[in-house]
Every structure is written in C-alpha cells, then in structure tokens.
Structure 1
C-alpha cells in the first residue's frame, strides 16, 4: 500500500505547504494499478501549520508528499524521515494524481 499526502486549497494543490488547513491523504492499494481504486480522505487541521502537516505525514505512514512551496527545513525533515517529497507542483488535485499515477509527476510540474 502506498500513501500520498497533498496540502489543499479548494480542489488544487495549496500554493504553500505551511498555509494549508485541509490535507488530502490518498491510499493506493499495491495490487491495483487503476486510479478508480484509490481511497481518499481529507483531514481538516484546526489551524495552518507545517509542523502539524509533517506530524500527520509521519503518523499516517505517508510515502510521498506532493506540494507546491515548502520551506527547506520541512522538506529536509520529511526526507530524513523517509518520505519522498515532490515539490513545486501546481494544479488541480485530480490532474496531479493522474500525472503521479502515470509516472509523469516531477518537481516543478505545472498542470493547468
């Protein structure tokens, strides 16, 4: 099973990691290659906090964080904890997940 965390602003990747109060966690079963089998849940934080998002990523055993702007210390912390970070990504969440699923998502991807 693979887990992905994406900070949200409406239906898009939030422009800044530390300002998101809604976070999408997507679970992809290993045996499935179809995007329709994804499990999605939105976690609403009581306030915007990069530390809270990092804690959530670790407690949820997230494998990959997809985000736009992220401060270096949080990027480095997540990588140190074994989480892959794909940053500088902008666009609607569904399109970003499609690109990730198709292995086309790299840092700096803008989808609009």
Structure 2
C-alpha cells in the first residue's frame, strides 16, 4: 500500500492545489516498509500532483481541502482520498495506515 500526504512543513497542506511538497510512504502487508520519502514539486499544480499520484501508484491520498473535480478524478482512478484533514503529517500517516483516519479529522 502506498500513501501520499500533502505537506506544508511537517503539517498537512491546507490546500491540495497549492501543495509543493509531498510525503510518500510504502508499506507491506505487515505494515513495514522503507523510510517514507519527501518529494518536492516544481510548483503548485493540482494537475501535476494528480499525475504524480497515478504515476507512483498511490492507493491513499491524505490532504486538506481539495476541489471537487480533482477529488472525483482521483476517486474515478480508484485512489482513496481522505480530505479536510488538519494536523501533523506523521500522525495522519500513522492513522491512515491503521485505517483510523477519516475525512474532516482534526488531529
């Protein structure tokens, strides 16, 4: 399973379309895997971020606010989107892995 978290410093980015940094973590069935990696994007672009998500084979996206058109596009592409999340990225990643993170969560 691959999880992508939109970042602003060590927090979840408030807006998907203005994000310039993401955290990508990959986990095996036993919830182990390599160290998560941070990817810097060339600039804020929801289209480019969607392309990266599909290219990387991401299963779950954790983000703050996201436009409905991008939300629907990712859902159509079979990517689970957990949106409107506020809080530290490390805690959000842990909760997403444990399947305890819900849309609208304030961590």
Q: What TM-score does the superposition give when structure 1 sets the normalisation length? A: 0.90
Pick the aligned partner of 2:66 from 62, 65, 70: 70
Q: Give the aligned partner of residue 14 of structure 2.
A: 15
Aligned to 1:33: 31
Per-residue deviation, 1:38: 4.8
Partners of 1:29 and 1:38 within 8 A in 2: no
> Runs of 5+ in structure 2 lacking a partner?
none
1:46-72 C-alpha deviation (Å, 9 max, x unpaired): 110001110000000000111110000
Would you identify which runs of 4 or more consecutive aligned residues in structure 1 move more than 2 Å?
Answer: none
Distance in 1 (alpha carbons) for counterparts of 2:42 and 2:58: 20
Cα distance in 2 between the residues matched to 1:11 and 1:43: 13
Alpha-carbon deviation of 1:102?
2.8
- Structure 1: tracts of 5 or more residues without a match: none
- Taking the aligned partners of 1:76 and 1:49, their CA distance within structure 2 comes to 17
Query: RMSD value over aligned CA atoms?
Result: 1.2
Match among 57, 61, 76 for residue 61 of structure 1:
57
Q: CA deviation at 1:29?
A: 1.4
Does the aligned pair in 1 maintain the 2:5–2:93 contact within 8 Å?
A: no
> In 2, are the aligned partners of 1:28 and 1:39 still within 8 Å (CA)?
no
